[in-house]
């Protein structure tokens, strides 16, 4: 959808529509909770945008996702501990998950576009969760240690914080992202 001068009008239009969808899904998705975290159905439009519009639109959608997380109150418990660390972690995890989903799609699509969508759908939640856990280690370790209580710190971080919602995000991405991309590609050809 892009040309040598930049993004096409179609890519920018789709990117704008997906931006609105990211905001709505994040604000509505904050009601679907697993423990202290909400399930990020918002990763689906990020993968779709990254696949159909490229890594930079994917990064933009991820950034918007991060901003919506901050504004929705989903990061309130972390903001109370470390405002700059929370902002950096949340915006970086969103931006990077969109960028890398687009980059992986771009690289794999040269061989197989269907495999490329599935690859992007896997990479997006892995980067999102991985950067989140890294941010927790860098900015919030004493707080997380107190949250873990008697539990093993590593066990609490991996199972309680990271893997609790990760399988749901991964499954929803693997099921829905390829379907949406396929439908949008079919409508483009008609």
Q: What is the pLDDT of residue 172?
A: 87
**Tens of pLDDT along 103-130?**
999 999 999 999 999 999 999 999 998 9
Q: What is the pLDDT of residue 58?
A: 97
Q: What is the pLDDT of residue 1?
A: 47
Pairing of β 37-38 and β 33-34 = antiparallel
- pLDDT of 147 higher than 80: no
Task: Name the token pair of 187.
Answer: 């409508």
d(CA 93, CA 135): 9
Give the chain's domains with CATH numbers: 2-189 (1.10.1760.20)
Task: Name the token pair of 89.
Answer: 């972690």
Per the model's pLDDT, the better-predicted residue between 148 and 141 turns out to be: 141
- As a whole number, mean pLDDT of residues 121-146 equals 90
Report DSSP state, residue 136.
H
Mean predicted lDDT score pLDDT of the chain: 86
**Tens of pLDDT along 31-48?**
666 565 556 689 999 999
Task: Name the token pair of 25.
Answer: 């899904």
The pTM is what? 0.86
Q: CB 128: neighbour CB atoms within 10 A?
A: 28
Q: What is the pLDDT of residue 168?
A: 79
Per the model's pLDDT, the better-predicted residue between 57 and 142 turns out to be: 57
Region of poorest pLDDT, from 88-102, 108-122, 146-160: 146-160
- As a whole number, mean pLDDT of residues 129-147 equals 87
* DSSP three-state, residue 38: strand
Q: What is the pLDDT of residue 27?
A: 85
d(CA 144, CA 123): 26
Q: What is the pLDDT of residue 143?
A: 84
- pLDDT of 157 higher than 80: no
């Amino acid at each position: 959808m892009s040309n040598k001068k930049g993004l096409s009008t179609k890519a920018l239009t789709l990117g704008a529509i997906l931006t609105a969808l990211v905001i709505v899904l994040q604000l509505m998705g904050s009601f679907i909770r697993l423990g202290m975290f909400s399930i990020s159905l918002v990763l689906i439009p990020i993968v779709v945008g990254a696949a159909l519009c490229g890594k930079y639109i994917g990064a933009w959608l991820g950034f918007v996702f991060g901003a919506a997380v901050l504004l929705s109150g989903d990061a309130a418990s972390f903001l109370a501990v470390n405002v700059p660390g929370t902002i950096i972690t949340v915006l970086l995890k969103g931006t990077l998950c969109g960028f890398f989903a687009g980059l992986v799609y771009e690289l794999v699509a040269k061989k197989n576009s269907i495999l490329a969508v599935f690859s992007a759908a896997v990479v997006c939640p892995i980067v999102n969760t991985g950067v989140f856990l890294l941010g927790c280690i860098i900015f919030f370790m004493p707080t997380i240690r107190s949250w873990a209580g008697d539990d093993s710190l590593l066990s609490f971080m991996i199972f309680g914080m990271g893997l609790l919602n990760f399988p749901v995000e991964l499954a929803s991405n693997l099921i829905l992202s390829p379907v949406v991309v396929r439908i949008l590609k079919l409508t483009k050809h008609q």
